[in-house]
Amino acid sequence: MSKSIVDHRYFIWAILALPSIPMIGALASGQPGPNGMPMTEMLLHPTGEFSARFLIIAMMLTPLRMLFPGSGFLRWLMKRRRYFGVAAFFYALFHTVLYIVDMGSLRAILGEFLALGIWTGWLAMVVFVPLTITSTDDAIRRLGPRWKTLQRTVYIVAVATLLHWIFVHNNFGPALVHFVPLAGLEIYRVLHNFRKRSTRPQAA
């Protein structure tokens, strides 16, 4: 009974949507944040952060499974990896809409477009769109082997997101706290694959 709830599609959606509930509540209240900070500006940070977190989780799963192949929890997550990616996209979209509303004019948006901390965010968002559109079962079938090649552009999203986060605040700390674990696992994955490849000729 409880297992069927946990395995239901709506369960994972509910978990992924959970952080947006207080955000939407705060926005709907119409009240400003502390020090009179407009809510559109105040929510920029948490929306961006949850987008990055879900993106990082989705990307960490494959190397984590190399480390812990027996983990049932990781297998459970792996089956739902696309949901994490789609959630990351929707938090990023929420983030972008808040930014546009908060800026209030196209002139203001274009006026800072070329700042390193800004165009990297737009780049991540643009590359993210086709990844999300092709996250359906139908798209996987239609694209065949090209699906994986397309989805690998998620690395562009990750690097652009990392740069956006660092340079929009001119601060390395919080961005690195989030991305170092992923980078560590990617290094492990590369070393692991390299070792496997270098032992293969001897076996043959």
Partner 1 sequence: MIIQKRAFALLILLSFPVSAGATGIHQCEARDKSDWLTKDQLTERLEASGWSVRFMKEDGGCWEVYGTNPDGQRVEGYFHPVTGDPELIAQRGRILFRAGVGD
Our finding on whether 110 is near partner 1 (CB under 8 A) is no
Select the residue interacting with partner 1 from 11, 79, 111, 136 (CB under 8 A): 111
Our finding on whether 101 is near partner 1 (CB under 8 A) is no
The sign of the CA dihedral 107, 113, 176, 50 is positive
The two structure tokens encoding residue 173? 């700390």
Our finding on whether 31 is near partner 1 (CB under 8 A) is no
- Pick the piece of the chain touching partner 1 (CB under 8 A) from 23-31, 77-85, 130-138, 166-174: 166-174
Query: Cβ of residue 171: shortest distance to partner 1, in angstroms?
Result: 7
Nearest to 120 by CA among 182, 61, 175, 184: 175
The two structure tokens encoding residue 154? 């998620």
CA distance 36 to 24: 18
Our finding on whether 116 is near partner 1 (CB under 8 A) is yes
Which helix (H) or strand (E) segment holds residue 145: the answer is none
- Pick the piece of the chain touching partner 1 (CB under 8 A) from 17-25, 131-139, 145-153, 165-173: 165-173
CA distance 44 to 97: 9
Nearest to 55 by CA among 135, 117, 116, 169: 135
- Pick the piece of the chain touching partner 1 (CB under 8 A) from 18-26, 80-88, 153-161, 178-186: 178-186
User: For binding to partner 1 (CB under 8 A), which residues are involved?
Assistant: 32, 34-38, 41, 67-68, 103, 107-108, 111-112, 115-118, 167-171, 173-174, 177, 180-181, 184-185, 188
